A and B are shown apart, each in its own frame.
Chain A
């Protein structure tokens, strides 16, 4: 696969993920992930550094395996979560997508994101960086790893998987 077609495939997947999250197509969103996918959002340890050892340091999110992503969706679907009813509307703007590494089995991709949300706190903007590992399975790309670095620190309101 040449660079441009790999980048284009990666971009299609990342943009599709953004669409599923914004449209709250939860099951379609889960389908984008591999069984063993890791979704990681570290905490900040000071003004310039985040945690780097997710096993033994504190994370905002460290969901190991798609089943943990499913937990989040299970909770959202119950409509019994105080934080999630009413739920915020979101729009993901993903840009600066670049291919960091192309291998036979997977692509390593970086991107920047901003999510504008509107909910009980009014309009909020959060932003940061994505680091993805996309794995080729039967000719199709799936998300095997997603790291979200959210530059915002003191958080306002609940922050769930679809807010970032």
Chain B
């Protein structure tokens, strides 16, 4: 694949915006994505509440590479490749746990949590030629590791913009969630992982696809309407479904750097667990910010691998692409620390209703995306179209903007406009182009 061939996979001009279906199935493109996007950009790795105490670790991947993050005794967070400096055995065998030092299970080398090599087993009889053997065999730290308000991001390349610049306007939407509790957010105990037999970009598109909601999820809306018609449910017992049936104002944001967002007004704001905190929110934040927190749902895609959602419930969803045709997806509930049992319970029940492959909506998304992956083999008609909203774009500085100085690249006033994907695919293309021409 050369730069010109890559360029031809996206048609971005007067004739509309099209992407070639091979980008979802071609393994060569997949390897380029891993090398030049996932392994060269900031990616979300974990939430700080998952490694609260000294020695708590969490292991995951960045692109194709196993890594872990760990809480040091001074409260700071370190991150390393999850591979022994010696002969690459994975150092942390579990997804999460606690260790005060890390001993490799293969040859017994032991490392400080900061990566320093403490013990080379039988070093004295090793006949090593180098006196400084241990000093030269430290764990490889992640070149970049930084938190934004509890969300830990890392990069396998140090050649990245500052995290603040990278996140740009998404920070406002992250703040709208973090500020729901004075104590910040936490990952609720439990998670679910599913295998999508489809390309990771289909998942990336789907989480901010307002357009599919009124078809794929109308069955969810009708199920909820049936439930609420039969039973007298009030306030937190109700479920936000107005956005599904398209009864509320909505919009889309292209934040730049491939980050995308969609929002809708809430048809039943009193059904949201945050409603119990309305008085405090109104007191502590500007009217505009309180409006975003209490009265709007927000789906945020943090390029390239994570979603942060605040709609009927709240979740963080991460993607681990395994090949062009397979992506592992993990969903976790993220919630305000210290909220009442009543609010937490309502938040979780709405989460379970919708967001899981055992639920009544994510299961339908999964089936739809796998159907797209299968349908995408119909290469005789090679293009997917993202045309909705082309004539309704507000460029930077026009129309409704976010509440801070972080103006998005463009916005539209309908969440089903597909123009948000233009920014995603332009970033996708430019990062691979940069790698190909480096």
- Residues of chain A whose beta carbon lies under 8 Å from any beta carbon of chain B: 41-47, 51, 53, 55-62, 67-68, 71-72, 74-75, 78, 80-83, 120-121, 153-160
Contact = CB atoms under 8 A, between A and B. Distances in A.
B344 to A, nearest CB: 5
B405 interface: no
Interface of B: 94-97, 188-195, 197, 216, 218-220, 222-223, 226-227, 230-231, 328, 332-333, 341, 344-345, 348-349, 351-352, 356-358, 360, 363-368, 370-371
Nearest to A53: B189
A43 B96 contact: no
A43 B226 CA distance: 27
B349 A62 contact: yes
B363 A58 contact: no
Contacts, number: 120
A51 B351 CA distance: 15
A51 B189 contact: yes
Contacts of B352: 58-62
Contacts of A120: 367, 370
Contacts of A153: 193
A43 B192 contact: yes
Nearest to B351: A58
Contacts of B230: 67
Contacts of B341: 55-56
A161 B341 CA distance: 27
Contacts of B366: 83, 157-158
A95 B346 CA distance: 35
B357 A71 contact: no
A57 B220 CA distance: 23
Contacts of A45: 189-191
Nearest to B370: A120
Nearest to B191: A43
B220 to A, nearest CB: 8
Given A58-B352, A158-B367, A43 B222 contact: no
Contact of B348 (A47, A58, A71, A155): A58
Contacts of A156: 194-195, 197
Contacts of B223: 71, 74-75, 78
A47 B197 CA distance: 24
Contact of A56 (B192, B348, B357): B348
